[in-house]
Amino acid sequence: MVTPTETELKELFEKVEVVASPIRGSLHDYIVSSIYADAEAIASKAVSKAEVSESDLGARIDRILTSRTLGFPIMIALLMAILWITIEGANIPSQILMAGLLWLEDQFALLFRWFGAPAWLEGVLVHGTYRGLAWVVSVMLPPMAIFFPLFTLLEDVGYLARVAFNIDRFFEWAGAHGKQGITMTMGFGCNAAGVTSCRSIGSPRERLIAILTNNFVPCNGRWPLLILIATIFVAPTFPLAISSVIAPFIIVIMTLIGVLATFIVSALLSRTILRGEPSFFVLEMPSYRRPQVLRVLYTSFIDRTIRVLYRAVVWAAPAGAVTWILGNTYISGETLMAYLADILSPIGLLIGLDGVVLLAFIIAIPANEIIIPTIIMSYMGTSMITELESMFELRVLFAAQGFTFVTAICLMLFSVLHYPCATTTHTILRETRSVKWTLLSNLIPLAVAFTVCFVVAQSLYALGFS
């Protein structure tokens, strides 16, 4: 038996590629489709089955959910419905939880004073660390407790496979895996959970692309900021007749920008530093099934909500302490927080922000939930994280500090596109086992965020916006 040399094999493969070039799609796709066609032909001779009735409910539903006309609108509508239920349903529980946790803060403060603890220790542990944790828990727990069960319900019913089918062609264009659509959607609840779900992608190269780009979809820690800024600064700049629908519209636009960034960056990675042959993605549509409610509740609450919240709390604890220290340490008559904000201000102005906002993003690396309270604390010059009573008070405070329409747009863009939180970064390190890829997972979004905000800010300034 004569074994062909490597050169002969290469020449043979090139000839096959030339012959197969008229066929639509790559040679690999052609081979896979041919294998399935042959298997189907063999099975049709060996197995007899009743034809699927046109009245079959599952087939009729699939024709709607996976159609080119209705598939995407339904997908976006379902996502927006889940987000709306999450946002609206979490408001009151978050307020109640915050009130209860702040009441406990007062009791802890009294206990420290009863023991005669020094004021700085009470400040760091109670008004810094504990209050920061209270913000994270009250902001994260109710939305996750709503979002994850709803999302897991769609997964259990079998709808997520249809989502992957609908957006597979976009990831194919990007040179990424079709399952990235599912991992991307998981990121809407929590990017750390989205990164973990990338384990389902068999190809190491395509799994890495999915991990590096998952952060571009906003997690539940960023929704409060997007909702707040869109409501108090963007919507009021439009006529009263349409202002009520502007806020949700802007949030949808910001979300779609994040999704678009996922496709573009995935395409760039697959054509540069992560170039390689795409793997096969054979998607078998599961049958629609009745959800197992108890399993859904357990999986969503224990495996997702509690574990993600635990990781966020671990990383957020030092952030609260750092915030208190920066707000209570003085240099030449001004706080260290104000001093650092002044240093960052020239960079912030280039991208439509200011030094306070940039500093808040740095402090909030452990948890995005404390960005807004940190900005409020800095603007008000208070010694601890503070919550204002109304949206109107917040708008007046921000406007007095030079906050404008351009600032609001760039703040939302930066929030959607910037680097992942510490919880997600730690998850990326655990999943990739590589410091290099973990650093790139932070540097790539940061570069995208700065570039987009710079272009948008300078363009809006040129158009006469302030």
Q: d(Cα 268, Cα 280) in Å, to the nearest integer?
A: 20
Degrees to nearest 5, angle at CA 225 with 222 and 226: 85
Q: d(Cα 145, Cα 276) in Å, to the nearest integer?
A: 39
Backbone angles phi, psi at 402, to 5 degrees: 90, 15
The domain total for the chain is: 1
Q: At what angle do helices 204-213 and 422-432 cross, to 10 degrees?
A: 170
pLDDT over 90 for what percent of the chain?
22
At 170 the pLDDT is 83
pLDDT of residue 317 exceeding 80: no
Q: What is the pLDDT of residues 363-399, one digit of tens each?
A: 888 878 778 878 877 887 766 666 655 667 778 888 8
Window from 148-157, 255-264, 352-361, 410-419 with minimum mean pLDDT: 148-157
Does a structural domain hold residue 375?
Answer: yes
Q: Please, are residues 398 and 232 in contact by the beta-carbon 8 Å criterion?
A: yes
Q: Please, are residues 359 and 336 in contact by the beta-carbon 8 Å criterion?
A: no
Q: At what angle do helices 240-271 and 405-417 cross, to 10 degrees?
A: 40
Does a structural domain hold residue 65?
Answer: no
Window from 8-22, 75-89, 343-357 with minimum mean pLDDT: 8-22
The more confidently predicted of residues 430 and 61 is 430
The more confidently predicted of residues 87 and 193 is 193
Torsion, Cα of 312, 313, 314, 318 (10° steps): 110
Q: Please, are residues 448 and 414 in contact by the beta-carbon 8 Å criterion?
A: no
Q: d(Cα 308, Cα 320) in Å, to the nearest integer?
A: 18
The b/e string for 302-324 (b: 16+ C-beta within 10 A; e otherwise) is eebbeebbebbbebbbebbbbbb
Does a structural domain hold residue 39?
Answer: no
At 47 the pLDDT is 62
pLDDT of residue 67 exceeding 90: no
In the predicted model, what is the mean pLDDT of residues 198-226?
A: 87
Q: Please, are residues 370 and 363 in contact by the beta-carbon 8 Å criterion?
A: yes
Distance of CA 183 to the CA centre of its chain: 10
Distances (CA, A) of 40 to 31, 33, 257, 284: 14, 10, 41, 14
The more confidently predicted of residues 254 and 156 is 254
Highest-pLDDT range among 125-129, 269-273, 322-326: 269-273
pLDDT band at 152 (very low <50, low <70, confident <90, very high): confident
The more confidently predicted of residues 337 and 76 is 337
Q: Please, are residues 341 and 378 in contact by the beta-carbon 8 Å criterion?
A: yes
- Residue 383 domain boundaries: 71-277+289-462
In the chain, the amino acid numbered 134 is A
Q: d(Cα 159, Cα 304) in Å, to the nearest integer?
A: 19
Does a structural domain hold residue 266?
Answer: yes
In the predicted model, what is the mean pLDDT of residues 291-311?
A: 75
Does a structural domain hold residue 49?
Answer: no
What's the per-residue H, E or C state across the chain? CCCCCHHHHHHHHHHHHHHHCCCCCCHHHHHHHHHHHHHHHHHHHHCCCCCCCCCCHHHHHHHHHCCCCCHHHHHHHHHHHHHHHHHHHHHHHHHHHHHHHHHHHHHHHHHHHHCCCCHHHHHHHHHHHHHHHHHHHHHHHHHHHHHHHHHHHHHHHCHHHHHHHHHHHHHHHCCCCCCHHHHHHHCCCCHHHHHHHHHHCCCHHHHHHHHHHHHHCCCCCCHHHHHHHHHHHHHHHCCHHHHHHHHHHHHHHHHHHHHHHHHHHHHHHHHCCCCCCCCCCCCCCCCCCCCCHHHHHHHHHHHHHHHHHHHHHHHHHHHHHHHHHHHHCEECCEEHHHHHHHHHHHHHHHCCCCHHHHHHHHHCCCCHHHHHHHHHHHHHCCCCCCCCCCHHHHHHHHHHCCCCHHHHHHHHHHHHHCCCCHHHHHHHHHHHCCHHHHHHHHHHHHHHHHHHHHHHHHHHHHCCCC
Does a structural domain hold residue 62?
Answer: no
Q: What is the pLDDT of residues 397-409, one digit of tens each?
A: 888 888 888 999 9
Q: What is the pLDDT of residues 17-46, one digit of tens each?
A: 555 554 444 555 666 667 767 777 776 667
Highest-pLDDT range among 83-87, 250-254, 350-354: 350-354
pLDDT band at 105 (very low <50, low <70, confident <90, very high): confident
pLDDT of residue 5 exceeding 60: yes
Q: d(Cα 212, Cα 24) in Å, to the nearest integer?
A: 30
Q: What is the pLDDT of residues 48-60, one digit of tens each?
A: 655 544 447 777 8
In the predicted model, what is the mean pLDDT of residues 435-459?
A: 95
At 357 the pLDDT is 92
At 24 the pLDDT is 44
At 446 the pLDDT is 95
Does a structural domain hold residue 52?
Answer: no
pLDDT of residue 75 exceeding 70: yes
pLDDT band at 413 (very low <50, low <70, confident <90, very high): very high
Distances (CA, A) of 459 to 229, 302, 353, 404: 20, 46, 14, 15
At 55 the pLDDT is 46
Q: Please, are residues 462 and 431 in contact by the beta-carbon 8 Å criterion?
A: no
The chain-wide mean pLDDT, for the chain, equals 80
Rg over alpha carbons for the chain, rounded to the nearest Å, is 26
The more confidently predicted of residues 27 and 343 is 343
Q: What is the pLDDT of residues 134-146, one digit of tens each?
A: 877 877 778 778 8
